[in-house]
Structure 1
Amino acid sequence: METEETVQVWLVERTYSDDEQNLIILTYATPDGSQYFRKERALTSSADVRETTAAVDADPTNLGTVDESALREQYATEARRMAAEHEPDDAI
């Protein structure tokens, strides 16, 4: 749950790294799409199962700014859709 010290961000993109094998990059964004939080997850084995939640609470100092207007709108659309369809703790 978002607090005065955190910002709730919603999953907007899940990609696989081109540079490293078994690395998943999760991108979360604010509902207005203006800020993002990236989380990298290395899968160590096929038995390595960790849930990805619809939202996470991020430290504001760990948020980047989305400068490109088309990407900002894409993130906003997806973040709002996720917030409307899921609870923050839902496994995605």
Structure 2
Amino acid sequence: MSTIFRILAYIVFAICGIIGLFLGVKLLASLWGTFWAVICLFVFPIPIYISPWIAIFKNGDWTLFILSYGGTAAYFLLNLISVAFEKKQ
């Protein structure tokens, strides 16, 4: 049972991370242009890390924030459940 929760945690983390990265780059591309978004992706990734906050303050959109940080919280919760099942066995 712990393996199922651990795999589910990794799947949630990967999906939320990939979608969050895509939406973050898309947000930066709409603000600064595609060239600078790609430069941020490969050379200077800090704007991508703060893109959920940019989305909140610039657009009032909480979607990217909830997806990024909520996905991380869901990962930790599922991983914690997995560890609890391991200790139980």
Higher helix share: 2
Higher strand share: 1
Greater relative contact order (CA < 8 Å, ≥ 6 in sequence): 2
TM-score, normalised via structure 2 length: 0.29
TM-score, normalised via structure 1 length: 0.28
Larger radius of gyration: 2
